[in-house]
Amino acid sequence: MREEAITYRAHGKVNLYLDVLNRRYDGFTNIETIFQSVGLADDLTFTPGGDAVTLTCSHAGVPLDDTNLVARAAALLRPRASAPSGCAVHIEKRLPVAGGMAGGSADCAAALVAFNELWQCGLDDAGLIAAALELGSDIPFCLRGGTLAATGRGEIFHPLRPLPETWLVLLLPGIPISAGSLYNHPQLERSLETPVEGFTPAFLYAIEACERGALDRLVFNRMELPAFIDHPGLVHWKEQLLESGCTAAAMSGSGSTLFGVCAGREQAEAIAASGFECAALAVPTVQAGVQRLDPAP
């Protein structure tokens, strides 16, 4: 059994494109999306010892009981362990809670990788992806990271050319929004297009735009309308991003995080510092999901 602590970095994501299709027989909703990992990330440190898995977090709003996805990852993998042990897990939280950046999913992905290593579960990449899907729709992407098109629940991946480093401004209003509330919102207008060979025409156009790096023709989120109806302030912040010079702007996932696409680092840092009424950060896109930090910070 490994005795020293290990630390993994769990990158958040934005949805450069997100369309909502039909509701499925299993209660989930089919989507078409383009995921992109970003430089904002949580760091999780795993210290083996004792008999139980315990959680601590730098953010008071994160639950530390068995509803936390890190705890659920431990419960899922422990029966498969050849060298089970207790573990103290500390989450250094930077990603927003319920903010549309897959913060909980990213932490869960890091936990799956870490527990697979610590407990010698022997899962390969396919096994980790299968385990991830048992826990949540965004977690398989968070394991892989980078630039990926996805269909189904968001777990069927279609490789894309990696997006060159692109600087974004993230606005973090701190408004928790439930994805379920938007999927069931009476004002959600689902796409009426019919997929042909797996993709709607709009998604094919989005993929082409992404491959060309034409983000001004790509960025779109179908879930904005119901979110903006319930939280009108988000409309104002999106408009501010565009008025500040971003070439495109949208809400990420189910929100409330918003992002704007910039021409480079200098512009992103200038816009982020321009006086928004909520937290604003300049971050690059990255091609990583879960990263081992060695030595631990």
Q: Which residues are catalytic?
A: 13, 138
- Cα–Cα dist 142/290, whole Å: 7
Which among 222, 225, 219, 223 is positioned nearest to 241, based on CA atoms?
Answer: 219
Other beta carbons within 10 angstroms of residue 240's beta carbon come to 22
Q: Could you list the beta-strand ranges (E) of 81-146.
A: 87-92
Token readout for 97 is: 């809670």
Query: b/e string for 156-184 if b means 16 or more Cβ within 10 A?
Result: ebeebeebeebbbbbbbbebebebeebbe
What DSSP designation does 66 have? T
Token readout for 217 is: 């023709």
- Cα–Cα dist 154/174, whole Å: 24
Residue 13 sits at φ, ψ, to 5 deg, of: -135, 160
Helix (H, G, I), strand (E, B) or coil at 10: strand
Name beta bridge partners: 247: none
Question: Residues 69, 128: contact at Cβ < 8 Å?
Answer: no
Q: Is the peptide bond before 256 cis (omega within 30 degrees of 0)?
A: yes
In what helix (H) or strand (E) does residue 145 lie, and over which residues does it extend?
A: none
